[in-house]
Amino acid sequence: MKKIIPILFIFFLIYGYVNKEEILIPSDAIRFRIIANSNDLQDQELKMKIKDAVEEELNRLMMNAKNSQEAKEIITENLTNIEKIVNEYTPNSKISFGLNYFPEKVYHGVTYESGEYESLVITLGTGTGNNWWCVMFPPLCLLEGKETETDDVEYKFYVQEIIDQFYS
């Protein structure tokens, strides 16, 4: 029995590596994006401070959301509150909730296609700087902030597990 656990672990690790299937973000997922004013260090730091503050509030608000419809309702009901949080850092911003454009992104070996997605987008100033984004429902943003020492295969299994939790 003691030998079977390492064998199973190696099997799943090899299986995941060989079958590099893309992790598909569900079509009704809700994304969260912040676009910095510029790529100046000060603007990028401001972007991350706002990200942390808004993300903390969103995590608190949506901790009990069971599906994307509930999550959308929570966000819509709290847009004014989110705007107040952003305005504590800068009055020069634009907040959009609905269908917004996202560029292609490759993260942990997974390509996320560009396109229009249901999302909360905060644009700071001119919005010409690098952006940060994640999927806030299902709650994949939590993965973005954590320093992980796992490889891509373990990450993909974990992300798929979270997606399955909300869509099974």
Q: What is the DSSP string of 39-89?
A: SSHHHHHHHHHHHHHHHHHHHHHHTT--SHHHHHHHHHHTHHHHHHHHHTT
Say if 13 falls within a structural domain. no
Say if 167 falls within a structural domain. no
Say if 77 falls within a structural domain. yes
Say if 151 falls within a structural domain. no
Q: What is the domain extent for residue 113?
A: 29-146
Put simply, whether the predicted model's pTM sits higher than 0.75 gets the answer: no
- Number of structural domains (the chain) is 1
pLDDT value, residue 148: 40
Say if 64 falls within a structural domain. yes
Say if 21 falls within a structural domain. no
Please list the pLDDT of the chain residue by residue as tens digits (168 residues). Answer: 455 544 444 544 454 444 445 556 777 889 999 999 999 999 999 999 999 999 999 988 888 888 889 999 999 999 999 999 999 999 999 999 999 998 887 766 667 788 999 999 999 999 999 999 888 888 777 544 444 444 444 444 445 555 565 555
- Nearby residues of 99 by Cβ (< 8 Å), 6 or more positions away: 116, 117, 118, 119
CA 128 to chain CA centroid, nearest Å:
20
Classified as helix, coil or strand, 90 is: coil
Say if 100 falls within a structural domain. yes
Tell me the C-alpha distance between 75 and 97, whole Å: 8
Please check whether residue 103 is in contact with residue 110, taking contact to mean a CB–CB distance below 8 angstroms: no
Say if 155 falls within a structural domain. no
